[in-house]
Structure 1
């Protein structure tokens, strides 16, 4: 028996179908590339906190660039044919991938890295890479890597909470970006540009989590403002925040019939 045959037999005994995995990779090149880039986002984020291979600044920028690459590939999948038209631009701006391509471009040129900026992209990377990792494991064999399958199951079980956390961070980044200007860690235009990103997230047709989180925060602030022991100036502040935010919301979303 040749060495190649022996290795194939050994792999087969372990229940790993390497040939099926190779076929899957060649058949689904873009999906596998997306998985690999999302895994790199996770590694770059770890490298930002633990700068073993390079500086934190470099890992931060690479994570944002990798997220931009994921968004661009997803846009290519969703809208393969580019057109110079107002209709195409309107369709493009409705895509969540376009929103996060815009997100990466907003923060990659800021003065200093901001840790909270990485949270949405790494959480999305964990959620989506976990889902596709299960597909790859199924291709390898039903009994392969049970520990990884358990971890994936835990991530998928928490998927709703992960998406809600992403939406919360998206919202918090709006006032936080203003605070960053005062600290000299962001450009003067960052909050104005980020507002357009948040506007698109609120209007998203496929992802209602940002819109729902706005609603939950509004209910929380209004219910807090009705507490009898709350000082008057705090009550006015909370209601002022709610009213100001509602004025900035897309007009179509203010009409309950459009929900």
Structure 2
């Protein structure tokens, strides 16, 4: 959708080549110039949009196609986004332990590992939720820039959706953290039902411990703390059966011992 004010102004300018399409290059060139000048950000934007589309195609199979294919494409697109983002954050590769320790503090490295873990596992909708929501959130900023270059009133329904998404950013990040946590028992269930490798819970535990100590995303620590407070509050009530109380406190003790120490910000 083009801006109406630009159309009125361009109507007073005669075409220079007699084709009547003299205004098309002036409308498209700012957008294309911006995309070409920001090739990395444009690629990230495209991979995120592709992630969102593939995740929707998997979650809503009414559009046809092989759901497992869309499941893998979602994870591969997320892995490509994570790898490119990781290269942005740490462009100079070094073969030493300090570099590796710094590498594993990056959220993009966490999700590259996440995609590798679930790529060949039994397809679960829950495992695509973090990929879908992160791609949706991170694509918003660049999408707004693209819309502004297209015109200040272009695709207002998309602008309104972006505004609503950004207003719910904290709630979305909390939901992602909760999904990451509940994927741990889901991975254990997959093993016992014979739908996944025995190593999946151990690999996912490593991912979850990295998310817990993330420097930029504290929501895993926040959600873990809130779950513990709610559980202790409910178990302290007289109505709680003794067996449930004992099992709950033992689970809290085990999880607390397994939790890594978060580094100071």
Q: Answer yes or no: same fold by TM over 0.5.
A: yes
Match of 2:53 among 19, 35, 43: 43
Specify the alignment match of 1:104 in structure 2.
115
Q: Secondary structure at the match of 1:102?
A: helix
Distance (whole Å) between structure 1 residues aligned to residue 36 and residue 24 of structure 2: 24
Aligned-residue RMSD, C-alpha:
1.8
Specify the alignment match of 2:21 in structure 1.
7
1:7 is displaced (CA, Å) by 3.1
Structure 1 regions of 5+ residues with no counterpart? none
Q: Secondary structure at the match of 2:118?
A: helix
Aligned residues: 250
Distance (whole Å) between structure 2 residues aligned to residue 210 and residue 55 of structure 1: 33
1:202-237 Cα offsets, whole Å, 9 max, x none, are: 001111011111111111111111111111111112
Distance (whole Å) between structure 2 residues aligned to residue 36 and residue 74 of structure 1: 13
Specify the alignment match of 1:168 in structure 2.
178
Distance (whole Å) between structure 2 residues aligned to residue 53 and residue 24 of structure 1: 35
Specify the alignment match of 2:162 in structure 1.
152
1:10 is displaced (CA, Å) by 6.6
Distance (whole Å) between structure 1 residues aligned to residue 34 and residue 19 of structure 2: 22
Specify the alignment match of 1:247 in structure 2.
257
- Please tell me whether the aligned partners of residues 119 and 166 of structure 1 are also in contact (alpha carbons under 8 angstroms): yes
Match of 2:79 among 58, 68, 72: 68
Match of 1:124 among 122, 126, 134: 134
* TM superposition score normalised by structure 2: 0.89
Higher Cα radius of gyration: 2
1:187 is displaced (CA, Å) by 0.8
- Please tell me whether the aligned partners of residues 131 and 156 of structure 1 are also in contact (alpha carbons under 8 angstroms): no
- Please tell me whether the aligned partners of residues 213 and 261 of structure 2 are also in contact (alpha carbons under 8 angstroms): no
1:121 is displaced (CA, Å) by 0.4
Distance (whole Å) between structure 2 residues aligned to residue 228 and residue 4 of structure 1: 86
Distance (whole Å) between structure 2 residues aligned to residue 249 and residue 234 of structure 1: 22
Structure 2 regions of 5+ residues with no counterpart? 1-14
